[in-house]
Amino acid sequence: MADLQAPVRVSPLIKVFFMVHFTKTDYPKKEAAFREIDAIHQAERATKLAAEKKLASDREMQELEAMAK
């Protein structure tokens, strides 16, 4: 059986460069996923806000009509 050499000790600086590289390549994928989720939530918030504004406007109109009578 061949004699195995001890594993090479990798410099901490090189480890940091590898971690930064992998994080950097993964970031756009994660950011795109977050943006998709945010777009869905933003659409839901917009519809809810529009409904609340319409309800508040209708109440205000009823109050003004009641005051005019």
Going from N- to C-terminal start, the domains of the chain cover 11-69
How far is 69 from 61, CA to CA, in rounded Å? 13
Tens digits of residue pLDDT in 32-59: 999 999 999 999 999 999 999 999 999 9
The pLDDT, as a whole number, for residue 1 is 55
How far is 53 from 47, CA to CA, in rounded Å? 10
The model carries a pTM of 0.52
> 24 versus 6: which is more confidently predicted?
24
DSSP 22-66: HHHHHHHHHHHHHHHHHHHHHHHHHHHHHHHHHHHHHHHHHHHHH
- 29 has pLDDT over 60: yes
Position 25 confidence tier, pLDDT thresholds 50, 70, 90: confident
Phi, psi of 66, rounded to the nearest 5 degrees? -65, -35
